[in-house]
Chains A and B, each alone.
Chain A
Amino acid sequence: MTTPVVGFAGLSHLGLVSSAAAAAKGFRVVGFDADRSLVQDTAAGRLRVVEPCLPELLRDVASRLTWTHDASALSGCDVIYVSVDVPTDDEGRGDESPVADLLRTTVSVARPETTLVVLSQVQPGFTRAHQRLTADRPDLHLFYQVETLIFGRAVERALHPERFIVGCAESSARVSAPLEAFLRAFDCPILPMRYESAELAKIAINCFLVSSISTTNVLAEICERVGAEWEEIAPSLRLDARIGSKAYLGAGLGFGGTNLNRDLEIVQGLSNRFGTDARLVSAWRANSVYRRDWTLRLLHRVVLSQCASPRVALWGLAYKQDTASTKNSPGVALAEAIAGVPVRAYDPAARLERMLPHVDQVESPLAACEGADALLIMTPWSEFAGISAAAIAARMRGRHVVDPYRVLSAADANAAGLSVYRLGAPELA
C-alpha cells in the first residue's frame, strides 16, 4: 500500500508533538485546529508549549507538515487522529466535549475508508459511546489509542514509544491497514484490545506511576527522620526485576500536572458509580497534598518562625522542568501560601498566571538570591545545577537552601556555609 497521510485534529500539546513525531517518521502530516491564530502561530514557529527539541524537530520536518484551520484539508488523510488535550478543572475533572466535537468534525470531512483514532485522554466507555457518530458512515474505522505524553519529555516519548495500545471495537478486531502501516514505522509492539481495555490501560499506567511516586514519598519522609538516604536505597530497588530499572523512585513534592490527577479522578468516579473499593486512591491524593506542603512546613520551622522579617528566594514556578506549565505547581502553591513574605522568584520559562503582590519575578537566579534568608529550589531545571554554591551564599542573607530535588551539590553548598534540606535525606546543617 501507499504511505498513508496522517492528520491530527487538535493542535494543543498532544496534537502538536504527535504531528512532529509522525512527520519525523517520514509521513506527510496535516495538522488542523479551528483556532486560526493557533495555526498561524504554529506555522510561524511561535509555539505555545515549551518542550525540549520540539522547535528544532518542527523545523527539520517542516516540508512534510501542513498546518490548517480548514477541516476539509483532513479529507486528504488516510488516518486522522483526534488529538486535542482534554481540559481539566482544579479538581482534575475532565471535559470531553471538545473531543466529541472534533470527532464529529472529522467524521463529516473524512473520505471513505478513512481510519479515525481518538488519541485524547478520555474515560473508559467514551469511544464505544461515540461510535454512534459514525453510524451513518459505516465505511469509517474508529479506534482509540493510548497516549503517553510526558511534559518535558514529550518529543522523546513520541519518537520512541515503548508500545502502542490500540482500542478496537472488539477484541478480535485488527488494526486497520493504514494505521498499522503508520504505527509500524515506530518499531515497537502494537497491542490491540477492546476499546474499554485500552482506555483503562491508559489510566492503569498512571495509577501505577502514582503508586510508585506515593510509595517513594512515604518512605522518603521516613528517611528524613531516621537518617537514611533515599538516593542510596532507590538503586537497590531498581535492580529488583519486580520493581524495575525505570520505576518512578524519585522523591517529589506530590504529583503535579493534570494527567495523573485527572486519571485518579476518573478511577474514583468509576468506583463511586460501580461501588468498588478505591480508598487507596484517596490516600494517594491525600499524601500528594501533604508532600506538596513539605517545603511550607520546613520553611515555617527553620525560617519564618525564626526570622523577624524573612525574605525568600524561589527558583522554579513551572510544575516540572522543561515546561512552562504552572498548573498544580509546588512553587506557585508555596508562593501563594506565604503571602506577606517578600519573594524574589525566577523561572527560565514559566510566568505567574496570577500576579501575587509579594512576589517579584526577576530575570536571573542569582538576582533572586539577593538578601534572601532562604533559597527554595522548587523546580529542578538543569540550569540551576550549574550555579555555584559560593555565589549563592555570597548573595544571601541567611543560610538555608531548601533543595527538594537535589539540584545543587549538597557537599558544595554545605562547604559554602549553607544548610541544605533535601527530600529523602537527613538535614545537612
Chain B
Amino acid sequence: MLRHQWPASAKPARVVLLGARGFVATAVRDVLTAADILVEPIGSAELDLTQASNAAQLQARLRPDDAVVFLAALTPDHGRGIDTMMANLRMGETVCRALDQSPVAHAVYISSDAVYRDEDAFITETMRTDASSLYGVMHASRERMLQAQLGNAVPLAILRPTLVFGGGDTHNSYGPNRFMRAAALERRIPIFGEGAERRDHVFVDDLARVIAAAIAHRSSGVLNVVTGQSIAFADLAGEIAALAGPDVEVVSKPRAPGPVLHRHFDPAALHRAFPGFRFTPRGDALARAWAAYAVAR
C-alpha cells in the first residue's frame, strides 16, 4: 500500500533513471518527458553499477531534490544463477552507498512479483515476500537494502510489477513478447501443454505511468503493479494470433510435468493509490505492442 507525501500530484525537480537503457526505462522516460519533467538517464554503458567502486561517480551525479528511479537489473535472460544474483546485489550496494553519501528527495525501486512464492496463486501486498527463485531473492534483498539505507529519511516506493510486455522488449520470456516474435517469424505460437496457466500481464506504458504517478505523488510503501485480470497463456496466444493474421496458429508443445500454477493479484491497492489511473484495455495494449514490434522489425 502506498502513502503519498504529495496528495496532489506535482513535478519533481529532476528524475534520475538508473538502468536507462532498458525498455521499461525508455517508456518511463517518454512519459516523464511528455510531462515536461527533467530526466537524467544513467545507463550501464556510462556507469557500471555492478562495480561498487562506481558509487562515488553515481553520488556525484545526484542532487538533494532528485527523485531516483532504480530500474537497473540483470534479468533472468542473463542467467538464473548465483553470478547474476551477486551482480544485481552489487548494483544494490552501489546505489545504497551513493544514496548514503548523497541523499535524495525520493526513491522508487522497481522490483518484481518474483518476490512472492511461485506457488502463491492469489497475491496481495500484505503477503510476506518468500521468493522461490534467486531472481526473486535478489529483488527482495535489494528492497530490504534500500529500506535499511533510506529508513524514514527518504520516502521509498517499492513497485512490484508482474509480467511486463510491450514494444522494445528484448527479453524472450514465455508470454506476449515471445508469442509476438514467434507469430511474426514462424507464423505459429508454441504454448506449453494446454497453456492453461493463468497470469496477469502489464503493458509497459501502463507500468511507466504508474511509476510516473508514484514520482508525482512522492509515494512511499509497497505496491504491486497488476491489472487484476489474469488470462490463460492459451487465450493470450489466441489473441496475439488474431492480431498477427489468420495464418498464425497456436500449437502445443510438451510441458514439463508438474501442477498447473496460476497467479492472480488483487489490484485494489493500486486503485486506492491512484484512483484516476486506468489500465489500457488488454486488446489495445496487445495491438500497440504488436504494432511497435512490427515497426521494429
Contacts and interface: CB of A to CB of B under 8 A. Distances in A.
Interface string A289-311: 11001001100110011000000
Contacts, number: 38
Contact residues of A: prevailing secondary structure: helix
B272 A296 contact: yes
B279 interface: yes
Interface stretch (A19-27, A118-126, A161-169, A334-342): A334-342
B268 A290 contact: yes
Interface string B252-283: 00000000000000111001100110110100
B168 interface: no
B187 to A, nearest CB: 33
Contact of A305 (B124, B266, B281): B281
Given A286-B124, A286-B126, A305-B281, A293 B266 contact: yes
B276 A340 contact: yes
Contacts of B229: 301
Interface string B83-119: 0000000000000000000000000000000000000
A221 B125 CA distance: 20
B188 to A, nearest CB: 32
Interface residues of B, number: 14
Contacts of A305: 278-279, 281
Interface string B227-261: 01100000000000000000000000000000000
Interface in B23-82: none
Given A296-B271, A337-B271, A290 B266 contact: yes
A196 to B, nearest CB: 32
A301 B278 CA distance: 10
Contact of A341 (B124, B267, B275): B275
Contacts of B272: 293, 296, 337
B124 A290 contact: yes
Given A305-B278, A339-B275, A300 B267 contact: yes
15 contacts: A286-B126, A290-B124, A297-B271, A300-B228, A300-B271, A301-B228, A301-B229, A304-B278, A305-B278, A305-B279, A337-B272, A337-B275, A338-B275, A339-B275, A340-B276
Interface of B: 124, 126, 228-229, 266-268, 271-272, 275-276, 278-279, 281
Query: 9 closest pairs, A vs B, by CB?
Result: A293-B268, A339-B275, A337-B272, A340-B276, A305-B278, A338-B275, A340-B275, A296-B271, A300-B271
